[in-house]
Amino acid sequence: MKHIKVGILGFGTVGAGVADCLLKNRVVISRRIGVDIELTGIGDLDTTSDRGVSIPSGILTDETESVIAKSDIVVELIGGTTVSRKFILSALKQGKAVVTANKALLADYGPELFAAAEAGGGTICYEASVGGGIPIIKALREGFVGNRINRIYGILNGTCNYILTRMEREGLGFEEVLKDAQRLGYAEANPSLDIDGFDTAHKAVILASLAYGGWHTTDEIYVQGIRDVSLLDIRFAEDLGYKIKLLGIIKQNADFRTEVRVHPTLIPAHAPLAGISDVFNGVMVNGDFVGDTLFYGRGAGRAATASAVVSDIADAALNLAQGIQQRIPAYRKSVESSGMVSMDEIVTGYYLRMLVDDRPGVLAQVASILSNRKISVSRLVQPDDSDKDGRVTIVAVTHETRESEMQAAVNDLEHIDAMYGKVCVLRMEEI
């Protein structure tokens, strides 16, 4: 039986989970894949704290480069984009197989890392970078190889999904649920990476590259988080037969340009994705032959992420045992994407919420502005009685409209004298 040595860089929550799995299930894994995988080194600056994992003596060290040198497979679980990038490049230049869960690093430096892997004869596996324990990377890279991918919709951030779920179920405001999420450990002390949509954007970039080739940075895509989603919007959406989810949306148009965007989205309440709640993730992939598929599971956490990392370690070990490091390329060099669709060009449905003076003619004025912009309205309603200041909420739901036309209409609406504040604009997808 071929013997493969594994080194882990970073002994935090996930690193400890991976070490625990490799040590406890070494025999099980070797029987399943016919390769013996041995954990031979763990590199971390902190060599004294108890992580709740019993490891053999001599494995944990602060000499990270020595761990890389003696390993066949290097598992990067440090996080960030500076030190982790340095160590991954070092490993790849030595021809090592690299396993990482680092979505931010891949999103920002993917082409550089894949080029280094090719030049050094190594490879990069990154199943745990998207969806935690959900095997979505392998599905896109291998399982759907015979399909053209029509579209991907992803609930890719457990923190946001937890917040929106509790707002919906319990009628709580955003700030109240966020504080609770921080107390429970679902949200960081500085939660901006999650709630402002950038974590989802990193993952969407990775999925888009697998689906369509090419590599687009997060700077090229539209990103909007959930800070401005109010309880009022969640209630109105429910009355209209929808739920609000933070989605990563990935599509390709007829001229092979790729559409990637991240924003709160109204989706039909009966859609499978609408039923994914709390900290769980879900990814819906539609292929031209396979049709709709849905992947569901824990998107983060020590055990789920460790499971995905170990599956990559097993894949890399099998490749090394057969002497074929790059059996299936981690990145498609034959680019199928001919560029990006700008946000102004996207076409989708819209939900608009407006606060206006409760007086005759205002509803007609709103309808006229939308009509003048050739925006077809499916529903235009005044859900509530006026408040103590004589103001009333109007909600409009439109048919599919070009983004540029909608933004122009919103600008017109915000300039009528009966309007208070900004118009709340949320996009809709009829999944």
Position 332 in a domain: no
| Residues 176, 126 share a domain | no
In what helix (H) or strand (E) does residue 424 lie, and over which residues does it extend? strand 419-428
Position 336 in a domain: no
In the prediction, which pLDDT does 213 show?
Answer: 85
Residue pointed to by tokens 């498609």: 332
Cβ within 8 Å of residue 283, ≥6 positions away: 130, 131, 134, 136, 152, 153, 154, 155, 156, 207, 294, 295
- Would you say 385 and 393 are in contact if contact means Cβ atoms under 8 Å apart? no
In the prediction, which pLDDT does 388 show?
Answer: 77
pLDDT tens column, 339-377: 899 999 999 999 999 999 999 999 999 999 999 999 999
| Residues 19, 152 share a domain | no
| Residues 424, 314 share a domain | no
Number of domains in the chain: 3
Of 188, 192, 190, 220, nearest to 204 by C-alpha is: 220
In the prediction, which pLDDT does 337 show?
Answer: 66
- Would you say 347 and 403 are in contact if contact means Cβ atoms under 8 Å apart? yes
Of 109, 134, 144, nearest to 124 by C-alpha is: 109
Angle subtended at Cα 167 by Cα 166 and Cα 172, rounded to the nearest 5 degrees: 110
Cβ within 8 Å of residue 373, ≥6 positions away: 405, 406, 408, 409, 412
CA distance 129 to 127: 6
Angle subtended at Cα 279 by Cα 44 and Cα 23, rounded to the nearest 5 degrees: 35
| Residues 48, 12 share a domain | yes
Token pair of 330 as six digits: 């981690």
| Residues 146, 125 share a domain | no
In the prediction, which pLDDT does 335 show?
Answer: 53
Catalytic residues: 203
Max CA separation in the chain (angstroms)? 82
- Would you say 10 and 79 are in contact if contact means Cβ atoms under 8 Å apart? yes
Q: What is the pTM of this model?
A: 0.94
| Residues 164, 113 share a domain | no
Please report how many Cα atoms fall inside a 13 Å half-sphere around the Cα of residue 166, on the Cβ side: 19
Over the chain (431 residues), the average pLDDT of each successive run of 10 is 96 97 97 97 96 95 97 97 97 96 95 92 94 94 93 97 97 96 92 97 95 88 97 96 98 91 98 97 97 95 95 95 75 66 97 95 94 96 80 96 98 96 97 93
- The CATH number assigned to the domain holding 388 equals 3.30.70.260
Cβ within 8 Å of residue 360, ≥6 positions away: none
In the prediction, which pLDDT does 255 show?
Answer: 86
| Residues 207, 143 share a domain | yes
Residue that is last in its domain, among 298, 331, 360: 298
